[in-house]
A and B are shown apart, each in its own frame.
Chain A
Amino acid sequence: MTDQTIQLGNGGMQPDDTGAMPDLLGPRALMWRKFRRHRVAYLSLWVVVFIYAMALFGEFLATTDIQQTNRRAPFAPPMSIHMFVEGEDGSRQLLLHAKGLKLTLDPVERRRTFAEDPDKVIPLGFFVKGFDYHLLGVIPMDRHFFGPVNPKDRVYFWGADRLGRDIFSRIVMGTRVSMSIGLVGVAMSLVIGVSLGGLSGYYGGWVDNAIQRLIEFLRSIPTIPLWMGLAAAIPLDWPPLRTYFVVTIIVSMIGWTSLAREVRGKFLSLRGEDFITAARLDGLSDWQVIRLHMVPSFSSHIIASLTLAVPLMILAETSLSFLGIGLQPPTVSWGTLLKEAQNIRTIIQAPWLLIAPGSVIVLAVLALNFLGDGLRDAADPHAH
């Protein structure tokens, strides 16, 4: 773009091109250009896409059935992956493999410790046979992206929990619940926020006043105790799906207030704009004005705010599940996984219980935040 402009500057030599102006891009193209320039945000977009792909194709990426326990591997540490095996004659051969673990019992401290067993080679491969599943819930498959070549072998890339379940597979599968709560919650926030915010901003007057008071009220009380109260009221014997939806509703209660405020602000400022008045004078109905003129002019802001609301909801779900009042096992989410790491003794014994799901949460939230931030910057061409 810069090159073009400079060329145009030189092209101004002819006396006839009096109105020489650099090319003007449409608003969408301008936003996209600005977004692309925000390199971290652009990278985050791909991270987010990857994480949602992980949520969709979880079974394909998982190496082990998440409910499968292993009595011989409680708190097994993460296994390392090696590229070469050494033959008896000392020659090196390319073979992707993990080293097996040897369990030893310390008779004095009465503790189990794991050590890498150099002789036990577990060959690894891509597109290997494993447990049966339905891809996207419909296509029956038993192939997995990466894992042990022999389906009987057990590998723990990110360690195991107290029942010997594979953390890696559990995190991959937990992505679905955690990330979708963000999306579903945001969808609910969107509906409530945009309708209430829109009403408030478009009609003003007492409607505005009432809705603003409600929002102020919701924002002025600490959310966690309220959520805790609500979440604790969910009976423990409810089916997981129902719990999931109730938790989502609880979580989405935070998101809509800021969204409603933003929509209202946009409505208020747009209401005074000449092009809205002009549209109204042209005889368009309220609904047509909103749909044809107002919504398009702030939809990009809304998308950015929504993106920024997703991580908040993910964190909220994680917090509640961590406290034991959100989702309940056997539902697997990042929050319920972290619940395993609730006391300091467990963390000392098996730090991966904290580190693995923790890093994934931070990565997902970070990427969503960067993405939302980049979108917001791009949506506002006048920002610094």
Chain B
Amino acid sequence: MPQTHMPTEPLVEIRNLRTHFFTDDGVVKAVEGVDLDIFANRTLCILGESGCGKSIMARSILRIVDAPGKIVDGSIIYHNATGQSVDLARARNGSRQLRDIRGQDIAMIFQEPMSSLGPIQKIGRQITETILLHRKVTKAEAKEIAIDLLDRVGIPQPARRFDSYPFELSGGMRQRAMIAMALSCQPRLLIADEPTTALDVTTQAQILDLIAELKEELQMGVMLITHDLGVVAEVAGDVAVMYMGKVVEKGDVFSIFEAPQHPYTRALLESVPRMGGGRRDRLPAIRGMVPHPLARPSGCTFRTRCDHAMAGICDRSEPVLTPAGETQAACFLHITEMTDD
């Protein structure tokens, strides 16, 4: 359910974030000017095809982008519990300040529960490790907390599972363990990078329910990255649609689903089969392919696949996010309307 109350102060403000990869073949602009606000007790879904930069954007927040990726511009302002603000984009890599925020204030879970846990360390140890890192507790207390957490995320026989190795657990159980680990220090923001993609459908629903429940319980902000519209419809409060490193449309989940403004969002929504839809209708697909990351189209990056592309306008300059209907969209269809006024 979408929340009606809107807290004034966001947890994290991302402004003009640009993260580039300097490869041998050229510069890949994975994130190219993203503005986003993330609020407490609210779920922000980042929607987009694979390769659109959503994961890199999320990783930029925690500063865990692997080389040769680098934040080249922009700011990521985090407002901590004591009211101070930290620009994560400028924090020194590996600094105490950054490490204290990681895992404690902002936690992250990943797509591959198979490979995201250390392969030869016991589950329990990997959880207590995080607890001992950030909280002043003894080892025995940490173990108790960890077992409670395993119980809370729905792992049966948590005391026994504490001593299990990751390869002894199923995918769903591993993802639950990952969530337990992420929540071990009661973070204020949980970033979930496609947490259900690698899981089967029934497990997916369970994991999403669990995240939603825990969000309410801990009043934390959630940033959920997905390419699955079904997931968005189920859990999102706000939605941001990304294409080639940019947010092309953002708004609350109802507005986006009811009246999408950006042609890309519309195309995405239309490409999903609907219950009760005409049987003989062919499912529309977005024409063409995502351009090669080293061959970014000039102007609006979507114009090469857009049915409404206007020669002389869309290839000249880049559209910026502009209020359009109930949402904000980065498209000249709306900008020209405004300039015409």
Provide the residues of chain B in CB contact with A20, threshold 8 Å. 291-292, 295
Say whether B303 contacts A22, CB under 8 Å: no
Provide the residues of chain A in CB contact with B291, threshold 8 Å. 12, 18-20
Known: A2-B24, A18-B304. A9 touches B294 (CB 8 A): yes
Say whether A22 contacts B25, CB under 8 Å: yes
Say whether B304 contacts A15, CB under 8 Å: yes
Q: For chain A, what secondary structure do more than half of its interface residues adopt (helix, strand, loop), or is it mixed?
A: loop
When chains A and B are docked, how far (Å) is the Cα of A240 from the Cα of B303?
78
Known: A12-B295, A12-B296, A13-B298. A18 touches B289 (CB 8 A): yes
Min CB–CB distance B297 → chain A (angstroms): 5
Whose C-beta in chain B lies nearest to the C-beta of A21? B292
Say whether A299 faces chain B, with CB atoms less than 8 Å apart. Answer: no
B264-290 residues with Cβ-Cβ distance < 8 A to A are 288-289
User: Which among A8, A13, A15, A18 is the interface contact of B294 at CB below 8 angstroms?
Assistant: A8
Provide the residues of chain B in CB contact with A94, threshold 8 Å. none
Say whether B296 contacts A9, CB under 8 Å: yes
Say whether A1 faces chain B, with CB atoms less than 8 Å apart. Answer: yes
Say whether A1 contacts B25, CB under 8 Å: yes
Provide the residues of chain B in CB contact with A2, threshold 8 Å. 24-26
Say whether A15 contacts B311, CB under 8 Å: yes
Interface size class of A (residues with CB under 8 A): 10 to 19
When chains A and B are docked, how far (Å) is the Cα of A125 from the Cα of B255?
92
**0/1 interface trace, chain A 50-88, chain B, CB 8 Å (1 if under):** 000000000000000000000000000000000000000
When chains A and B are docked, how far (Å) is the Cα of A2 from the Cα of B305?
27
B5-45 residues with Cβ-Cβ distance < 8 A to A are 24-26
Provide the residues of chain A in CB contact with B25, threshold 8 Å. 1-2, 5, 22
Interface size class of B (residues with CB under 8 A): 10 to 19
Say whether A5 contacts B303, CB under 8 Å: no
Provide the residues of chain B in CB contact with A22, threshold 8 Å. 25, 292, 294-295
Min CB–CB distance B302 → chain A (angstroms): 11
Provide the residues of chain B in CB contact with A9, threshold 8 Å. 26, 294-296
Say whether A6 faces chain B, with CB atoms less than 8 Å apart. Answer: yes
**0/1 interface trace, chain A 1-40, chain B, CB 8 Å (1 if under):** 1100110110111010111111000000000000000000
When chains A and B are docked, how far (Å) is the Cα of A363 from the Cα of B315?
59
When chains A and B are docked, how far (Å) is the Cα of A328 from the Cα of B151?
76
When chains A and B are docked, how far (Å) is the Cα of A6 from the Cα of B289?
20
Provide the residues of chain B in CB contact with A11, threshold 8 Å. 295
When chains A and B are docked, how far (Å) is the Cα of A19 from the Cα of B288?
7
Min CB–CB distance A36 → chain B (angstroms): 14
Say whether A13 contacts B288, CB under 8 Å: no
B152-187 residues with Cβ-Cβ distance < 8 A to A are none
Known: A15-B309, A18-B288, A22-B25. A8 touches B297 (CB 8 A): no
Provide the residues of chain B in CB contact with A13, threshold 8 Å. 297-298, 315
Min CB–CB distance B1 → chain A (angstroms): 40
Chain A residues proximal to chain B, CB less than 8 Å: 1-2, 5-6, 8-9, 11-13, 15, 17-22
Chain B residues proximal to chain A, CB less than 8 Å: 24-26, 288-289, 291-292, 294-298, 303-305, 309, 311, 315
Q: List 12 A-B contacts (CB under 8 A).
A: A1-B25, A2-B24, A5-B26, A11-B295, A12-B296, A12-B298, A13-B315, A15-B304, A20-B291, A20-B292, A21-B292, A22-B25
Given contacts A5-B294, A8-B295, A15-B315, 15 further A-B contacts (CB under 8 A): A2-B25, A5-B25, A6-B294, A9-B294, A9-B296, A12-B291, A12-B298, A13-B298, A13-B315, A15-B297, A17-B304, A18-B305, A20-B295, A22-B25, A22-B294
Closest 6 CB pairs of A and B: A20-B295, A12-B295, A18-B288, A18-B304, A5-B25, A21-B292
